[in-house]
Amino acid sequence: WARVPCEGTTDFWVSQDGSYMEVGQKNVKGHIWEKSTVKLASLILSLPVPSSSLTPADEGENEISKHNIQKKMLHKFLLVGSENSGTCTIYKQAKLLYNAPFSVTELQNIKLVIQSNLYRYLGIILEAREFFEESLFEKSNEQLVELTGISALSE
């Protein structure tokens, strides 16, 4: 229905830009997105169709077009999650990935979070150290009592 001539068992490859060619051949037969029947069927079935600016004929123009499209593309994320689920990390990574600078307030908030986490983790380590020292002290006292008990019995 796209009016692509198919005789016998001819197979076609469709590339990302919509150009199609016979399998094993390098000559492009046409662009499927330019076919009126494909446009009509896509419209009726509510299927996405790339605009004509996305399918330039020249390769050099293709690279320039992709670059312009990436600049114009707006990325929106909906990050939903409970505390410590990583949504903030994903947000920060996306900002870094798309070269979106952080505002001064965001940088201060990130700094505050890093510092508070650092102090919290240091507190956990110090508490664990105290617990370890106490348990080690108790074990050494028990061993000392056992040794003094054994030496008192042997005398």
Q: What is the pLDDT of residues 54-75, one digit of tens each?
A: 444 445 555 556 566 656 666 6
Domain count, the chain: 2
Which domain covers residue 11, as residue numbers? 1-72
Quickly tell me which residue has 């999650």 as its tokens: 81
Extract the tokens encoding 75. 């990325």
Q: Say yes or no: 80 and 155 in one domain.
A: yes
Residue ending a domain, among 72, 103, 126, is 72
User: For the whole model, what pTM was predicted?
Assistant: 0.35
User: Mean of the pLDDT values across residues 123-140?
Assistant: 92
Instruction: Output the pLDDT for position 55.
Output: 44
Residue ending a domain, among 43, 72, 101, is 72
* Portion of the chain with pLDDT greater than 70, in percent: 63
Instruction: Output the pLDDT for position 147.
Output: 79
Q: Burial of 141 by CB count in 10 Å (0-12 exposed, 13-18 middle, 19+ buried)? A: exposed
Instruction: Output the pLDDT for position 47.
Output: 74
User: Mean of the pLDDT values across residues 79-96?
Assistant: 72
Residue ending a domain, among 16, 47, 72, is 72
- Higher-pLDDT residue of 30 and 152 is 30
Q: Say yes or no: 58 and 111 in one domain.
A: no
List of residues 6+ apart from 75 with CB closer than 8 A: 94, 98
Among 73, 75, 53, 74, residue whose Cα is nearest residue 64: 53
**Residue 20 in contact with residue 30, Cβ under 8 Å?**
yes
Q: Say yes or no: 66 and 103 in one domain.
A: no
Quickly tell me which residue has 């199609």 as its tokens: 20
User: Mean of the pLDDT values across residues 100-124?
Assistant: 87
Using the predicted structure, report yes or no on whether residue 106 has a pLDDT greater than 90: no
Q: Say yes or no: 147 and 116 in one domain.
A: yes
Handedness of CA 102, 108, 112, 114 (dihedral sign): positive
Q: Say yes or no: 67 and 80 in one domain.
A: no
Q: Say yes or no: 144 and 88 in one domain.
A: yes
Q: Say yes or no: 11 and 58 in one domain.
A: yes
**What span, in angstroms and rounded, lies between the C-alpha atoms of 31 and 20?**
6
Give pLDDT tens digits for 18-44.
787 877 777 788 888 788 888 787 778
How far is C-alpha 18 from the chain's CA centre?
A: 27
